[in-house]
Structure 1
Amino acid sequence: MPTQPIDVALHKTTQERYLNYAMSVITSRALPDVRDGLKPVQRRILYAMYTNLRLTHDARFRKSAAIVGEVMGKYHPHGDQSIYDAMVRMAQNFSLRYPLVDGHGNFGSVDGDSAAAMRYTEARMMPLASELLDEIKKQTVPYRPNYDGTVQEPVVLPAQVPNLLINGATGIAVGMATNIPPHHLGEVVDALIALIDSPSLTIDDIVGEIIQGPDFPTGGVLLNSREELREIYHQGSGTLVTRAQWEVERDGARRFIVVTAIPYYVNKATLIEKIAEHIIQGKLPQVVDVRDESTADVRVVLELKRGASADVAMAYLFKHTPLEDRFHVNLTCLVPSENPDVAQPAKVDLKMMLRYFLDFRMEVVTRRIEHELAQLLRRIHILEGFEAIFGDLDEAIRIIRASEGKADAAKKLMAYFGIDAEQTEAILETKLYRLAKLEIELIRAELAEKRAEAARLQGLLGSEARRWDLIRRELVAIRGAYGDARRTLVDAPVKELEYSEEAYIIAERCWMMVSRQGRIKRQKSYTDLSTIRVREGDEMGWVLPGSTRDAVIFFTNMGRGYTMRIDDVPSTTGYGDPVQASFDFADGERVVGVVTTDARVLRKMTPDQPSLVGGGEENDEDDVQLVGIARSGQAVRFSLESYTEPSTVKGRLFMRLGRGDEVVNVENCDGSELVALASRDGRALMFPVREISHVKGPAKGVRAITLEGKDQVLDFTLCRERLDGLEVETNRGAREIIRATKAQYAPSSRGNKGKLVIQRGHLIRAHRPPVEIIPGDEDEAGEEE
């Protein structure tokens, strides 16, 4: 009979079902349990291998497909590939610090190679994995039904080793994730023992003193300080910085950098590809070749260029490749809750992780002792039955012979000797040869031994201190059996490598070319301005000498400066690329001034520099400065120093502008120049550049010329020679040059109205030729650095 539809609130149903899904992922898929350090799929793999397939470390290998089938059929119905992937990871010695599965065949590599298909590989458990399961049959942990209720599976394994800390874990759930680094087994066990001896120990007492820090299976060098590590273990989150281990080897005159360990989770093949890309692109001139000579151990060889510095090369590689990597710690895991069948997620600190494991060990050991004691008492009870009839064995035999069957014999034996049904059953099932005198003595000896062992176990159950001592001794045995040398270096002396971008640029003289429309390029040489290619309607604006190690700064009408290295400018004889391709220009933003940091381009402000009008102001200026003037008549003089390093795509502000205002030009000055300035209404003004106040940062500036009405600055230039000037054009097509040699434009002071260029009409444009700086012969000497 079809069911009737039920009206439900969509938002409530969605919320409820999403929460159910989220909790399922969190508790049943993605997060490890703090007690055994395993996710459900890992736990089920090991349980099936140990209990169902008997694949202990001394058993024969079995096909991985058989293991996966057993796990999927009885415990984990989430697909064979997910099970196999989890088993492969447990077999990889570069993924787990202490592998739990002994894989036979291709189980992948640190180069990122995938494992062979499960039908080709074989596996069994590693000896350490047995330490997670050896106590499973002693009723030490709770069980629950599997997914279809046909068999039982353990909620958690009775781990004797702190697997979560020594192997770490990574996983992404819904709304939370975990990323726990692996640690050294010996150090973790020492910390557990120390906590048993002194429960009041703090994280500060443990970190650095007992646990040095993470110990990654691939080795490397941990760069975090002890204080940073303590903070990470306190908070349960933070960032670890790891770096490859390397050394320099020599072969005659040739020198090589040899990388012997790489950071955790770094794909070695991809790493080598990235290094090769930097070499091919010329970004790492110190290295001429890279090759992989790895066998069982990592050995990546980089051949150094003759005379090159290995430190400089490694500083680049640490900055631009995964030879230096970060591991983001997140100590989130499942911790016990009031319901023994369900654990709950929580972010913990280091001491909490250790404490949870110790409390779990106490619980497991107690339940193990109780189980062993129950087994002993049952055996003692049986042996006491034998002991009871040994005193009158002839009567026992007579009763049995005179009885009418087993049931009658049992009834009469219980009545005569005062024994119970269980003891009577054991007596009646005993073979006749065990009634011999020697066998009787063996039974009495066994009884005495069992009674002594029972007394010992009862003593353990009656004393928590004795149980802690037992746990301590078992941990010491684990450390002795599985302890090894630390792989990741902590607190090791690390050479500080200075990184300078210039060290990785091949010094090469060139010409920096910028068109009026903002297309940029560099060329090794050119013969004449007319030979430089520009798009139709465009013209060359700036042609400046420079080096690939220099920077070029673009000043725009929006009062911003954008800096990039000339090495990053496209080298081409074509039109070049738009400057907007390298920076984030605003609408209508365009280049109005360009300088390079080449000494042949820059003019330095010097004290007492004589000007065209004679004399000079006394000051202590001694740097490279620039002048910018806006259409509103405001002017700034600022230092280049703040703009020489490469900028972000947003650039740096050098002048604060009002609404609708813009900069008309930016030029380099040395203090001797005169500013030649013209406005659209036909006024011209010349004054010494030093009258513009020097500012330390972005500013509105000072008034260069007083403008009336809607007048605005047309353009300006800096005059260094007496015949230099600013050529302007009127609306009637006439041209006029504003220069100091003309009496009507004689230099005056900054801020006045200037002189009229024309009586009627107005100025429409200024004609400024391309800025072309041709170095002298002495500057061209030794062109290649």
Structure 2
Amino acid sequence: MPTQPTDVALHKTAQERYLNYAMSVITSRALPDVRDGLKPVQRRILYAMYANLRLTHDAKYRKSAAIVGEVMGKYHPHGDQSIYDAMVRMAQDFSLRYPLVDGHGNFGSVDGDSAAAMRYTEARMMPLASELLDEIKKQTVAFRPNYDGTVQEPVVLPAQVPNLLINGATGIAVGMATNIPPHNLGEVVDALIAMIDRPEISIDEMVGAIVKGPDFPTGGVLLNDEEELREIYHNGSGTLITRAQWEIERDGQRRYIVVTSIPYYVNKATLIEKIAEHIIQEKLPQVVDVRDESTNDVRVVMELKRGADADVAMAYLFKHTPLEDRFHVNLTCLVPSENPDVAQPARVDLKMMLRYFLDFRMEVVTRRIRFELEQLLRRIHILEGFETIFGDLDEAIRLIRASEGKADAAQKLMAHFGIDAEQTEAILETKLYRLAKLEIELIRAELAEKRAQAAKLQGLLDDEGKRWKVVRGELVAIRGAYGDVRRTLVDAPVKELEYSEEAYIIAEQCWVMVSREGRIKRQKSYTDLSTIRVREGDQMGWVLPGSTRDTVIFFTNMGRGYTMRIDDVPATSGYGDPVQASFDFDDGERVVGVVTSDKRMLRTMAPDQPSLVGDEESDEGDVQMVAISRSGQSLRFSLESYTDPSTVKGRLFMRLDKGDEVVNVENCDGSELVALASRDGRGLMFQVREISHVKGPAKGVRAIALEGKDAVLDFTLCRERLDGLEVETNRGAREIIRATKAQYAPTSRGNKGKLIIQRGHLIRSHRPPVEIVLGDDDDGDGGEEE
């Protein structure tokens, strides 16, 4: 009978199945166990090598394909490549601080090279891996059926070493992840011993004094101080900052930076490519070449330019390449639960991690002692049977000879001597030569020895303190056998390297060109404006001098200033790139004013000209800008706050009401006249110093009194008598607002101005491109003619 379909709630079914999947990934694939520090696939690889293939450290190498096949067929049905990848990682001395697999052949490199195919490589266990498994035959850990129920596999390995801390782990599960850094075995064992001696010891007492910090297989320098490390080990999370080790070497007149270690998980080949890119792009002028001279040890050599500062070069490399890297710590792992077959995920701190391992070691040692005692008692029981028989050996032989067979002989021996079936079986299987007098004495000596051993083991089981001494002694032995020197430096004197972007820019004189539509570029030279390429319908708006170490500031109609280094402006003879590609402009935002920080083009406020608006402080020597909006608001502000590179959001220089926008921004020296025109045909001229100087973003003061829907069309600053603002009417006529015309004689800020036309209105202004021309004898100290 086919099963009848049943209705189920989709959301409940989806939730239930997703949770099952998530827990399966968390507990069966991605997270390591706090006790043996292994993920399931790693545990199965080591167990198959040890129990099935006998590939201990003193065995012959075996093809990796055979190992993978054994693991996949019996324990891990998730694909051969995932198994091989896990085994390869356990063999890489740059991935694991203490490798567990002894690989023979190409197992990859720190340059990111992949391992050879499994059919070409061979492997066996490392000696340290044996310490994870040696006690497994003594019923020290629980077993469970494999995926198809045909064989048994261990729930966890009886690890004698704190593998989770010394080798670390990385994994991404569903809704959680782990990222545990490796540590020095000697330091971790010392911390375990300290916890045995003083269970109340705190994390603060351990960190720094015993556990110095993570110890990465690739070395490097740890920049975190002791207080930061304590916080990371308390919280089970945080960020470690590691930096490459380097030194200076000399060869005659040449000097080289030699990198001798790199941060953990950094691909050396990719690192060198990135350094080379910065050199090729001339972003690192202190370095002329980089090459890899690494063998078994890391050796990346960078040749310094003559006279270059190595500290400046390294400051740049630490900021822009993985020579300085971050490791995000997440001490999440599987910890024991009430169900011995299933562990549960938890984020732990350093002491909890050590405590779980010590409790596990106590459990393993107790089970091992109990197993050994049971084996001893069983042997003692057999030996006691021999001792009983040997007391009257002639009678035993007579009974055996008189019996009808083995079963009859066993019955007679048990009835006469009072021994059980197990003892009788051992006696009947004894070879005749062992009936000699010398053999009987050996059995009695063995019995005495075994009774003494059993008493000692029973004493250990009765006294937990003695068992802790056993655990402590075994840890001391592990430290003596596998402890080594720390590779990652901590508390090392680290030179503070100052980073200044200007130090990495080659100073070159150039011209910054900005079109009216906001396309930007730079060129080393040009002949005249007509030779500069612009897109059809566009025209050149600003051509300004500057050095690649200077900045260029773009002022927009939205009242914001955006600043970038001239070195970052695209160098091209084409149309250039839109300024929006470098900044986050709003819809409709466009450039209305441009200046560079080159002192040769900037005008400073002239002396001996007191402000007309009662400024409390002198403006003398200040570089100021003038901005006027369509609603007639105006302000002066200092350029100083806008010369450093900005974020993509820019900096606000003028606060605008909704619907208002800035029409123009120009540099002033305080001597100019403002020539202003409105759309309804009014013109006004007044002294620029009548506009208030503000220290931060503001709405400003009224420049012209507007009526109805009138709005400011444009303005410019006039420095000469014939300077003015040229405007065009809707009938095609043109008019220039300049001081030489009587109707535009300078008045005061804030009035209505004079009518330019009797009929119609103004539609546009005609301002020529801003072109700063530098004289041949310019010394770079002052402003230039426009």
SS of the residue 2:232 aligns to: helix
1:677-704, CA deviations, whole angstroms, 9 ceiling, x for partnerless residues? 2222332222222222222222111111
Partner Cα distance (1:636, 1:462) in 2: 90
Partner Cα distance (2:131, 2:664) in 1: 78
Which residue does 1:496 correspond to in 2? 496
Which residue does 1:576 correspond to in 2? 576
Which residue does 2:753 correspond to in 1? 754
Query: Contact 1:609–1:616 (CA<8 Å) still a contact in 2?
Result: no
Which residue does 1:659 correspond to in 2? 658
Q: Which segment is superposed worse, 735-744 or 59-68? A: 735-744
2:626 is aligned with 1:627: yes
Partner Cα distance (2:386, 2:449) in 1: 15
Return the offset for 1:617: 7.4
SS of the residue 1:589 aligns to: coil
Q: Which segment is superposed worse, 497-506 or 460-469? A: 497-506
Query: Contact 2:218–2:487 (CA<8 Å) still a contact in 1?
Result: yes
Which residue does 1:10 correspond to in 2? 10
Residue identity opposite 2:650 in structure 1: G
Which residue does 2:368 correspond to in 1? 368
Partner Cα distance (2:519, 2:435) in 1: 110
Query: Contact 2:27–2:344 (CA<8 Å) still a contact in 1?
Result: yes
The residue correspondences of 1:702-781 to structure 2 (distance < 5 A) are 702-779=701-778
Partner Cα distance (1:606, 1:415) in 2: 128
Which residue does 1:638 correspond to in 2? 637
Which residue does 1:506 correspond to in 2? 506
User: How has the CA–CA distance of structure 1 residues 377 and 616 changed in structure 2, closer, same or farther, with 3 Å as cutoff?
Assistant: closer
Partner Cα distance (1:15, 1:39) in 2: 26
How many residues are treated as equivalent by the alignment? 781
Partner Cα distance (2:149, 2:764) in 1: 90
Return the offset for 1:147: 0.9
The residue correspondences of 1:253-652 to structure 2 (distance < 5 A) are 253-605=253-605, 607-609=607-609, 619-621=617-619, 622-652=621-651
Return the offset for 1:46: 0.5
Partner Cα distance (1:153, 1:495) in 2: 52
1:516-550, CA deviations, whole angstroms, 9 ceiling, x for partnerless residues? 22221111112222222223332221111101111
Percent of aligned positions with the same letter in both sequences? Answer: 88
Residue identity opposite 2:388 in structure 1: A
SS of the residue 2:777 aligns to: helix
Query: Contact 1:105–1:121 (CA<8 Å) still a contact in 2?
Result: yes
User: How has the CA–CA distance of structure 1 residues 617 and 558 changed in structure 2, closer, same or farther, with 3 Å as cutoff?
Assistant: closer
**What's the TM-score, normalizing by structure 1?**
0.96
Return the offset for 1:610: 7.0
Q: Which segment is superposed worse, 13-22 or 504-513? A: 13-22
Which residue does 1:60 correspond to in 2? 60
User: How has the CA–CA distance of structure 1 residues 148 and 639 changed in structure 2, closer, same or farther, with 3 Å as cutoff?
Assistant: same
* Runs of 5+ unmatched residues, structure 2: 782-786
SS of the residue 1:778 aligns to: coil
Return the offset for 1:759: 4.2
Q: Which segment is superposed worse, 479-488 or 269-278? A: 269-278
Q: Which segment is superposed worse, 221-230 or 750-759? A: 750-759
1:574-619, CA deviations, whole angstroms, 9 ceiling, x for partnerless residues? 22222222223223222110000000111223553479x9x99773
Query: Contact 1:610–1:672 (CA<8 Å) still a contact in 2?
Result: no
Q: Which segment is superposed worse, 215-224 or 753-762? A: 753-762
Partner Cα distance (1:616, 1:776) in 2: 37
The residue correspondences of 1:168-187 to structure 2 (distance < 5 A) are 168-187=168-187
Query: Contact 2:600–2:780 (CA<8 Å) still a contact in 1?
Result: no
The alignment's C-alpha RMSD in Å is 2.0
Residue identity opposite 1:619 in structure 2: E
Q: Which segment is superposed worse, 503-512 or 695-704? A: 695-704
Residue identity opposite 1:751 in structure 2: G
Partner Cα distance (1:192, 1:325) in 2: 30
SS of the residue 1:413 aligns to: helix
Partner Cα distance (2:450, 2:69) in 1: 43
Which residue does 1:154 correspond to in 2? 154
Return the offset for 1:725: 2.5
Return the offset for 1:402: 3.4
Residue identity opposite 1:688 in structure 2: Q
Partner Cα distance (2:531, 2:4) in 1: 86
Q: Which segment is superposed worse, 497-506 or 95-104? A: 497-506
Q: Which segment is superposed worse, 134-143 or 176-185? A: 176-185
Query: Contact 1:72–1:78 (CA<8 Å) still a contact in 2?
Result: yes
1:402-444, CA deviations, whole angstroms, 9 ceiling, x for partnerless residues? 3333333333332333222222222222222222222222111
Q: Which segment is superposed worse, 464-473 or 221-230? A: 221-230
Q: Which segment is superposed worse, 205-214 or 643-652? A: 643-652
1:55-110, CA deviations, whole angstroms, 9 ceiling, x for partnerless residues? 00000111111111111111111111111111111001011000000000011111
1:545-567, CA deviations, whole angstroms, 9 ceiling, x for partnerless residues? 10111111111111111111111
Q: Which segment is superposed worse, 12-21 or 721-730? A: 721-730
SS of the residue 2:670 aligns to: coil
Q: Which segment is superposed worse, 730-739 or 625-634? A: 730-739
Return the offset for 1:399: 3.0
* Runs of 5+ unmatched residues, structure 1: none
Return the offset for 1:780: 5.8
SS of the residue 2:294 aligns to: coil
SS of the residue 2:727 aligns to: strand
User: How has the CA–CA distance of structure 1 residues 734 and 72 changed in structure 2, closer, same or farther, with 3 Å as cutoff?
Assistant: closer
Residue identity opposite 2:105 in structure 1: G
Return the offset for 1:335: 0.7
Partner Cα distance (2:780, 2:567) in 1: 21
Q: Which segment is superposed worse, 274-283 or 677-686? A: 677-686
1:608-642, CA deviations, whole angstroms, 9 ceiling, x for partnerless residues? 3479x9x9977333422111000111012112122
Partner Cα distance (1:70, 1:242) in 2: 39
Residue identity opposite 1:113 in structure 2: D
Partner Cα distance (1:272, 1:609) in 2: 58
Partner Cα distance (2:153, 2:678) in 1: 90
Return the offset for 1:328: 1.2
Name segments (4+ residues, structure 1) moved above 6 Å. 615-618
Residue identity opposite 1:620 in structure 2: S
Return the offset for 1:760: 4.2
1:258-300, CA deviations, whole angstroms, 9 ceiling, x for partnerless residues? 1111111111111111111111111111111111111001111
Which residue does 2:30 correspond to in 1? 30
Which residue does 2:697 correspond to in 1? 698
Query: Contact 2:26–2:173 (CA<8 Å) still a contact in 1?
Result: yes
Q: Which segment is superposed worse, 722-731 or 424-433? A: 722-731
Q: Which segment is superposed worse, 453-462 or 231-240? A: 231-240
User: How has the CA–CA distance of structure 1 residues 437 and 542 changed in structure 2, closer, same or farther, with 3 Å as cutoff?
Assistant: same
SS of the residue 1:779 aligns to: coil
Partner Cα distance (1:760, 1:781) in 2: 49
SS of the residue 1:489 aligns to: coil
1:327-371, CA deviations, whole angstroms, 9 ceiling, x for partnerless residues? 111111111111111111111111111110000000000000000
Partner Cα distance (1:533, 1:433) in 2: 111
Return the offset for 1:315: 1.2
Residue identity opposite 1:429 in structure 2: E
Return the offset for 1:40: 0.7
Residue identity opposite 2:690 in structure 1: E
1:451-496, CA deviations, whole angstroms, 9 ceiling, x for partnerless residues? 1111111111011111111100000000000001111111211111
SS of the residue 1:490 aligns to: coil
SS of the residue 2:333 aligns to: strand
1:227-272, CA deviations, whole angstroms, 9 ceiling, x for partnerless residues? 1111111111111111111111111111111111111111111111
